[in-house]
Structure 1
């Protein structure tokens, strides 16, 4: 079965930076699952998975525009330290999670004071050209519930 819109795709990935250094991998864990065609995956990876089938292994290099976007050097915000989640004491360079009206957002601490912190709101991988080694594990038709919810359910997907 080919990967097309409204298919639930399970795949393993290994993500590498421009130097070929591994950033993260799903190998050894459950495969990632997503609903194809519903903007649940970065564009470059979703485009590369189009028309692939279970068992296929390949690599794709994704430019920032089709990955996590270009870096915006002006994307700095001052937020109350109490809104930073992930640690008790903050230092420059640490990653934190901030809950916004658009949902949880990963930020990088630039400067932390006692009450306020300056954070970089760019995604940590913004501006980077990334290589994904992909292995398609399974492709199936999405259920009506998955399509109406706009995401995959079950192993590697969303759990209600």
Structure 2
């Protein structure tokens, strides 16, 4: 029987959880499997590692440490900006997601981490940075 390996395009159903059991994403909720090619780096390393070697119909639970997920929280990706620099049509709230345009025109997603009288703190880290993750994965197809 064929096993999933680098270069294969696979379809999986998955449920991603935090260590406390909180579900943060699931293909089952959308009833749409995730399709990706192993080895292209489009998935976090721990997820690809878990699928590598699986056979169609196999299921696994993968404990993925921070280093194989979204990495540690990087302090250099947290920035405090004066409130006066926030567009007038935005009322900043903690947890709000925004897109900040860089000088080169590229847009970066950020989360508002703190709001004070004079400034807001923006966090450009992935929302799951600094967290160990658990994925329940079922391999549905290998192309």
Q: TM-score range by the shorter chain?
A: 0.7 to 0.9
Q: Which residue of 1 aligns with 2:33?
A: 31
**Structure 1 residues 23-62: aligned runs within 5 Å:** 23-29=24-30, 30-62=32-64
User: Structure 1 stretches (4+) deviating beyond 4 angstroms?
Assistant: 99-104
* Alpha-carbon shift at residue 90 of structure 1 (Å): 2.4
Query: Residues 102 and 131 of structure 1: is their aligned pair in 2 closer, same or farther, counting only changes over 3 Å?
Result: farther
* Alpha-carbon shift at residue 96 of structure 1 (Å): 2.6
Whether the 8 Å contact between 1:81 and 1:112 is mirrored in structure 2 is no
Q: Which blocks of at least 5 consecutive residues in structure 2 are unaligned?
A: none
Q: Which residue of 2 aligns with 1:91?
A: 93
* Alpha-carbon shift at residue 103 of structure 1 (Å): 5.9
Whether the 8 Å contact between 2:112 and 2:121 is mirrored in structure 1 is yes
Query: Residues 19 and 75 of structure 1: is their aligned pair in 2 closer, same or farther, counting only changes over 3 Å?
Result: same
Whether the 8 Å contact between 2:100 and 2:107 is mirrored in structure 1 is yes
Q: Cα RMSD over matched residues?
A: 2.6
| Aligned with residue 73 of structure 2, among 71, 74, 84 | 71
Output the CA distance in 2 between the equivalents of 1:97 and 1:32. 25
TM-score by length of 2: 0.80
Q: Which blocks of at least 5 consecutive residues in structure 1 are unaligned?
A: 141-160
TM-score by length of 1: 0.72
Output the CA distance in 2 between the equivalents of 1:31 and 1:90. 35
Between Structure 1 and Structure 2, whose CA radius of gyration is higher? 2
